[in-house]
Amino acid sequence: MKKHTIVVCDHIHEAGLDMLRNDESINFIMAADEDKVKLLEIIEQADVTITRSSTDVDANFIAHAKNMKAIVRAGVGVDNVDIDRCSKEGIIVMNVPTANTIAAVELTMTHMLSCMRMFPYSHDHLKNQRVWKREKWYGRELYGKKLGVIGFGNIGSRVAIRSKAFEMEIIAYDPYINPSKVTDLDMTYTKNFEDILACDIITIHTPKNKETVNMIGEAEIAKMKDGVVLINCARGGLYNEEALYNGLKSKKVSFAGIDVFVSEPATNNPLLDLDNIVVSPHLGANTFESQYNIGTQAAQQAIDAAKNIAFAHAMNLPIDESKIPAFVKPFLEMGQKLGFLASQINKAQLVSIKVSGKGDIAEYVESLSTFVAVGAMSEASGDTINYVNAEFIATEKGIKIETKIQKESSVYKNLITVKLTTTEGTTTLSATIFDDNVQRIVEIDGFDIEVALKGNMILFKNNDIPGVIGSIGMTLAKNNVNIADFSLARNDKSQALAVILVDNDVKASVLVELSKLDACLGVNYAHL
């Protein structure tokens, strides 16, 4: 019997190593203590590897992975893995996204209590300085306080449940979930972010993406209660660190509990100079139980992948080109982009995703729907969504995925249509691929329009009256936004739609200014 070679590049729990040692079909190589040059030689033998943050899966690593079919990142983050290059080489990248859930939840509670009672400082005063001064350490109680929870997923929801046991009032903000997930727990769900900013304590539990980086900055802190407490045990950069520093310095923010930083190790971070912050060195997964779960789950995923049994939590499941014609793959890629674009245009709780196909591509509409769903749900789910679990996550969130084969188009050889329905309305996009793999949107919500599927995109809908194009151009010019392309369409309802590709990112204030122009019916912004 041919054995499958699994190489462990970084240290994981001994229980996981035992699983690898005890499987007779596995040739297990422990390489965690090898130098990086020797490791690359060993990697050439590997069918599957297990890594953590200490090993960079970069171009050099992948070049030596000549026989590798899968990489298991023993943890949640995959920042050290070049997923795109792995995909090009047909290497499946997997992670272990739920193994440290309880550890992260309990660390959040630790930070919350430490901030309210200043526990680390009183401990240091007595233990290290040998000063007994009770009157110096008057803290505050969690009881009766209003807790704002940003992101109500696996971790955020569990933090809320534990906080409710302290008899706190819980307000949750998460535009991508069914409100009943919150209200069924006798908690308050809000779509208004201002409600979160009015809380006594705010804790954030979102993925790190374009929408959430610097989600809390100077403007948001200015609107908060004086003496607010801020907690971040999720991802560095969700709170703007300069704004957080200023808020703590001025005492607008009375205390902060921070486990994660923009740049780590954060030994020289200015936040460490303040005396109203509790910090820890990214300890979200640092419990014995969590490490056991990570090690054993990573080992099992590696074994299953080596045997081609399953690729759980695959981030980039490749397409079997022996079973799918070559022309299909670009349509799958385009379908994912359409889903992602639609989710940015229609930002609200997803209800359903409908994917239609015309022409030869219609035969592959089921595969296409998976890619569309990954794109549509990626903003809400971050790095937890993949081609394997998309249907499961959709079901869990109550999102219906439908497919339809339409009559052949007389205009386009192949056409795909994505209809995204949310609690706020419906967005429909149709697109095709011209010669030389040129991807183009050809219809948006009933407007016939041809737009490149890339870049920074402003969508401006208006009553069709004179002077609108000039007003748009003047507004963008005034704000130093350069137009790269301007496409215009009209319908039979005396309405027009402009899709404007611009060279640089567009600030929210510019979108607000555009929305105030005469005849404007709506402004959206998206980035591909």
* Cis preceding-peptide flag for 265 (omega within 30 of 0): yes
Cβ–Cβ under 8 Å, residues 234 and 206: yes
Distance (Å, rounded) from C-alpha 144 to C-alpha 166?
8
How many CB atoms are closer than 10 A to CB 208? 18
Kindly state the percentage of the chain with pLDDT values over 90.
75
pLDDT at 445: 95
Known catalytic residues?
A: 235, 264, 282
pLDDT at 318: 59
Rg (alpha carbons) of the chain, rounded to whole number = 26
> What is the arrangement of strands in the sheet containing 415-422, beginning at the earlier edge strand?
400-405, 350-358, 415-422, 425-434, 438-444, 447-452
Asked which of 49-53, 104-108, 159-163 is least confident by mean pLDDT, the reply is: 49-53
- Please check the confidence at residue 86 and state whether its pLDDT lies above 80: yes
Residues 376-385, mean pLDDT to the nearest whole number: 73
Residues 98-107, mean pLDDT to the nearest whole number: 93
Give the global pTM: 0.73
How many CB atoms are closer than 10 A to CB 257? 26
pLDDT tens digits, 295-343:
999 999 999 989 877 787 888 865 655 567 778 888 988 998 999 999 9
Long-range Cβ pairs for the range 206-209 (8 Å, 24+): 206/150, 206/151, 206/156, 206/234, 206/235, 206/238, 206/382, 207/151, 207/235, 207/381, 207/382, 207/383, 207/384, 208/234, 208/235, 208/236, 208/237, 208/238, 208/382, 209/378, 209/379, 209/382
Fold (CATH) for 455-528: Alpha-Beta Plaits (3.30.70)
Per-residue CA distances from 286 to 73, 104, 147 (Å): 16, 9, 25
How many CB atoms are closer than 10 A to CB 236? 19
Handedness of CA 192, 198, 199, 202 (dihedral sign): positive
- Please check the confidence at residue 383 and state whether its pLDDT lies above 60: no
Fold (CATH) for 4-98+289-306: Rossmann fold (3.40.50)
Query: In the chain, which segments carry CATH 3.40.50.720?
Result: 4-98+289-306, 101-279
How many CB atoms are closer than 10 A to CB 434? 12
Fold (CATH) for 101-279: Rossmann fold (3.40.50)
The CATH homologous superfamily of the domain defined by 319-432: D-3-phosphoglycerate dehydrogenase; domain 3 (3.30.1330.90)
> Going by C-beta distance under 8 Å and a sequence separation of 6 or more, which residues neighbour residue 473?
483
Query: In the chain, which segments carry CATH 3.30.70.260?
Result: 455-528
Residues 197-204, mean pLDDT to the nearest whole number: 98
- Please check the confidence at residue 467 and state whether its pLDDT lies above 80: yes
Distance (Å, rounded) from C-alpha 70 to C-alpha 57?
12
Residues 255-279, mean pLDDT to the nearest whole number: 96
- Please check the confidence at residue 456 and state whether its pLDDT lies above 80: yes
Closest CA to 91 of 72, 115, 104, 117: 72
For 339, the token pair is 């889903």
For 68, the token pair is 């590798």
How many CB atoms are closer than 10 A to CB 104? 24
For 69, the token pair is 């079919």
Query: In the chain, which segments carry CATH 3.30.1330.90?
Result: 319-432
